[in-house]
Amino acid sequence: MKALWLFIFGSVLLLQYSCSTEPENDYTYFKIMVDSISHPNTISVSDTLMIKFYGFVGPDGCHKFSRFEEHKKTNELELTVWGSEPNFQTACLEVLVYLDGKEYKTVINQIGNYQIKINQPDNSILLDTVYVE
């Protein structure tokens, strides 16, 4: 009886660690080309700055927005917009995917002109400014 339980327990462990619904390293990440952003021209210190992003993410439903990568410096906000696509075979919707005003929010605690830098996949930078009063 003890041998049977050990066999069942071992089999369950083997199945748990060998069966995966998606392979490891299941997504490839890429920088999204941002066409434009929109935000208020002026905000008050300690208010939340909301930036809306527009641009093309990918040619089918398997491409999607992944995350914002942020680096804050004195009077500067540097952002990179990341997308992802699966590395495994899957059925993808035939639809163009866009950022469509995807929102990024942050609190700014520094008075003055605050420069917004958006890193692009072609190593260019999209620049804008918000005044914090």
This prediction has a pTM of 0.78
Are the C-beta atoms of 69 and 79 separated by less than 8 Å? yes
Integer Cα distance of 81 and 18 in angstroms: 34
Residue 14 lies in a domain: no
Residue 85 lies in a domain: yes
- Could you list the pLDDT tens digit for every one of the 133 residues in the chain? 555 554 555 554 444 544 444 444 799 999 999 999 999 999 999 999 999 999 999 999 999 999 999 999 989 999 999 999 999 888 999 999 999 999 999 999 889 999 999 999 999 999 999 999 9
The rounded Cα 29 to chain-centroid distance in angstroms is 9
Are the C-beta atoms of 83 and 58 separated by less than 8 Å? yes
121: tokens are 């996949």
Residue 109 lies in a domain: yes
Integer Cα distance of 31 and 121 in angstroms: 5
Count of domains for the chain:
1
Residue 47 lies in a domain: yes
Integer Cα distance of 97 and 95 in angstroms: 6
Residue 63 lies in a domain: yes
Residue 17 lies in a domain: no
